[in-house]
Amino acid sequence: MRGDIKLYRPSEDQISIRALTAISASINAGEPTVSSDASGSSTGVVKEGATHDPTTASAHRFTGIAKSDSSDTAAAAGYVDLWVPFADTIYSASALTTAEASTQAKIDALKFKRVYLDLTATKWTVDSSVADAVTHAVVIIGGDYAKSTFQFLITPLASIIGHYPSA
């Protein structure tokens, strides 16, 4: 959903790039994107991520949070502007379960946990209840319990910046 994931603190080097989208990709600003290509192919096309992205176990590299709505239609391919996923970009999004981010103590206890994003219906959130795993690319580094939001990094090992696939 538009605005679900925000840049809480952009990198000092933050830039955006324009990438191709397929027919009916329908990406909204604030949604995560991944490369449509698996390893070994290259079309330059991106698509919306899936629930439980991003991970290093996927051949579809994380390509950044959409800065704009995509311009594709039901009849034609289009473009979307993406925030390049630099390693020092800090993001924020709501917790999947607000009760898990409802106090500072709870947020403190989740710090540095590796989790992933959740997509339920059209809403993107941080699934903080998933077990910590090396393949999970969302690293919680803080939050705001008054808003039940998390602040997090996305490890380069899952993205175009430094992809390294896990077994």
Interface contacts to another protein, rule CB under 8 A: 11-13, 15, 17-20, 35, 37, 39-44, 46, 61, 63, 84, 86-88, 156-157, 160-165
- Comparing CB distances to another protein, the nearer of 11 and 129 is 11
What tokens does 134 get? Answer: 């090396």
- Comparing CB distances to another protein, the nearer of 94 and 159 is 159
User: Minimum distance from CB of 66 to another protein (Å)?
Assistant: 15
- Comparing CB distances to another protein, the nearer of 17 and 99 is 17
Q: 5 CB contacts (<8 Å, ≥6 apart)?
A: 30, 31, 32, 65, 91, 92, 93, 117, 124
User: Minimum distance from CB of 142 to another protein (Å)?
Assistant: 22
- In 3D space, the residue among 109, 107, 117 whose CA is nearest the CA of residue 85 turns out to be 117
Q: Which residues pair with 83 in a beta bridge?
A: 16
- Comparing CB distances to another protein, the nearer of 114 and 163 is 163
Alpha helix positions (H), 35-138: 104-110
User: Minimum distance from CB of 133 to another protein (Å)?
Assistant: 18
| Cis? peptide before 156, omega within 30° of 0 | no
User: Minimum distance from CB of 107 to another protein (Å)?
Assistant: 27
